Amino acid sequence: MKHRVAIVTGARRGLGEAICYQLAKDGYDIVVNDMVGKEQVDKVVKYIEDNYSVSAIGVMADVSHEDQVLKLLDIVKSRFSRVDVLVNNAAIVEDMEIEERSTDLFNNTIRNNVTSTYLMSKYIGREMFQNKHGKIINISSTNGMNAFFPTSIDYDASKAAVISLTHNFALEYAPYVLVNSIAPGWINTEMNKQLPEELIKEETDKIYLKRFAEVDEVAAFVSFLASDVCSYLNGEVIKLDGGY
Ligand SMILES: NC(=O)c1ccc[n+]([C@@H]2O[C@H](COP(=O)([O-])OP(=O)(O)OC[C@H]3O[C@@H](n4cnc5c(N)ncnc54)[C@H](O)[C@@H]3O)[C@@H](O)[C@H]2O)c1
């Protein structure tokens, strides 16, 4: 029996890696993408093949570049006959004062985080539309809904744009492709490991549940959005921040 197929971008570590394992557990064949860390990507692929009864491939690509997205699509199509789920998880963040941030750095974050989601949704979504079936799940952030620290102004703007892409692609690929977004608050990942301890403590105090989310808790929600049970939620943004 052929499995359904899921692509997860930015999946060598952190939330993307957890999403790969969750979807593999759900029975999807997995395309593990990242732009760096081939060894880590290979490890994720191996872990999936060793622990779940599905196939996995790693595809190194910077998905904010059109030529690389098209190559990824060719590889995926040569290996699998269809794509059922796309998780746009890849993103970068680099906090600094607005005064210090160059225009190039600002533009780079926007290009990396927004263009990647746009290109992947455009090309993979088109395949899904033609197959009359698919789910696109965009990982945004509560930073895209509110301002907390202007030191991440570029990241915040990129995550707000991801929400807008969610609305537009839900409309573009209706009625066959459901496009939704998750906006997590703080998650316990590598991305936050370098933050000052004091800041982590202050932020933890503001969360009703008094802890950052674990990656599995966010991945479980991706699993729901990808599943057939989720058949009427579309163009939506779900905040997953433990109360804040
Ligand atoms: N960690 C948090 O607190 C938090 C909170 C809210 C939202 N998020 C979002 O969750 C997602 C995952 O975050 P994480 O904490 O696991 O981050 P992470 O830095 O651990 O992982 C992100 C991965 O994406 C990859 N990547 C970035 N740009 C790429 C591109 N153009 N092409 C291919 N790969 C690319 C990176 O190499 C990295 O491996 C991101 O979208 C992030 O914005 C994280």
CATH code for position 26: 3.40.50.720
* Terminal C-alpha separation, the chain: 44
User: Where does the pLDDT of residue 193 fall: very low under 50, low under 70, confident under 90, or very high at 90 and above?
Assistant: confident
Kindly report the pTM of this predicted structure: 0.98
What is the average pLDDT across 178-198? Answer: 93
Identity of the residue numbered 16: G
What is the average pLDDT across 9-22? Answer: 98
Confidence check: pLDDT of 231 > 80: yes
CA of 1 to the centre of ligand 1 (A): 33
Question: pLDDT at position 19, please?
Answer: 99
CA of 90 to the centre of ligand 1 (A): 5
Q: pLDDT tens-digit profile of 97-128? A: 999 999 999 999 999 999 999 999 999 999 99
Q: pLDDT tens-digit profile of 31-84? A: 999 999 999 999 999 999 999 999 999 999 999 999 999 999 999 999 998 999
Full domain range(s) for residue 31: 5-240
Structurally, the chain folds into a number of domains equal to 1
Nearest-CA residue for ligand 1 atom 39 is 10
What percent of the chain is modeled with pLDDT above 90? 96
